[in-house]
Structure 1
């Protein structure tokens, strides 16, 4: 594969990463609530989920979600229900919960899994990858599947860097939040609204790549 294709993909990935969207908004809110380390863990989970979507494109599974309304609908409903579950917890969260260092919501495993589930249960990502990654691959460079994996790895690497930067910046709000009960309550409610909005956006999404 030509270096130019890799560079072009990397630039496009940076632009996509900093554009307002469900994933970086998810990282931002989690970092502000639980600290930058938690935001990085969520980011690692999201990027791990991208491995599934990259594999789906490489092996042609993503095409099923683009052509099968039932498969697409089932997965997006599961994703929407999970987001509503997160919204419910955000609305019910108490101030003390975020002041307790050993809070279960701040455990590494829980946040990492949260990122994975958020990513894997979003069928739009598979459809997006199906439309996006092949643009940078070509049969003249060899087998397509290995190229897709390379391109997916580049996208994941860039997303990891961009989202970690967002996590660090948002995490700086943590100290202020822990000293302001009112700020915690407001951010919990905002987070709940964000999750509800993301759930509605996901459940009303069509199978056509944007």
Structure 2
């Protein structure tokens, strides 16, 4: 396995972004089990983008400004919705308040949507994965699928570690009301910042 691919993938996965922010927020507010569900959802959210890259469909975003703009606005709107929900849900980071029940399916759907509505991901995978496939590779499609699977596994493991650490810190953090208030604002501001960054992004990879 190409060590450069593994190191680059690790840097990409571990860099703070929408998925990391969501997983950490879930770990702090709902605990270890929920953070693992969020990690699974975020990982599944990369699957359609990888499939698009493998099938060559991501090229549409280079040639169709409308397709990119539509997905961009939907993604930004969803991130702003997540920010609003984070500020509104005061009980999620309050140890004295019961956390509203949320089914694993709903948590997975929410996490999948975060990555699914990011138009930069298919372009990223289209530009990223082919770099690690030799021109004379006898089975380029198999190689592409293998690299994609490794990237997804790495995403799941790293996000799960983020979430588990957040859940471990949960009791220490949630026992301080002032800290929890600032955490809500921090996560909300993070979603807003990511939404605005996406909103003003261009279709270039």
TM-score for both structures, normalised by structure 1: 0.88
Does the alignment pair 1:103 with 2:100?
yes
Greater CA deviation, 181-190 or 75-84?
181-190
Match of 2:145 among 145, 149, 154: 149
Does the alignment pair 1:88 with 2:80?
no
1:27-47 Cα offsets, whole Å, 9 max, x none, are 222222222322221111111
Match of 1:9 among 5, 14, 18: 5
Deviation of the 1:147 alpha carbon: 2.3
What are the residue-to-residue correspondences of 1:100-179 with 2, within 5 Å? 103-104=100-101, 106-179=102-175
State the number of aligned residues.
Answer: 204
Greater CA deviation, 11-20 or 73-82?
11-20
d(CA) in 1 for partners of 2:185, 2:175: 17
Find the counterpart in structure 1 of residue 17 from structure 2: 21
1:49-74 Cα offsets, whole Å, 9 max, x none, are 11111100011111101221100010
Match of 2:35 among 28, 32, 39: 39
- 4+ residue segments displaced more than 6 Å: none
Give the CA RMSD over aligned residues: 2.0
Change (3 A) 1:96 1:63: closer
Greater CA deviation, 89-98 or 8-17?
89-98
CA contact (8 A) 1:97 1:103 kept: no
Greater CA deviation, 31-40 or 57-66?
31-40
d(CA) in 2 for partners of 1:148, 1:66: 21
Question: Which structure 2 residue ranges, 5 or more long, are not aligned?
Answer: none
Find the counterpart in structure 1 of residue 69 from structure 2: 73
Deviation of the 1:134 alpha carbon: 0.6
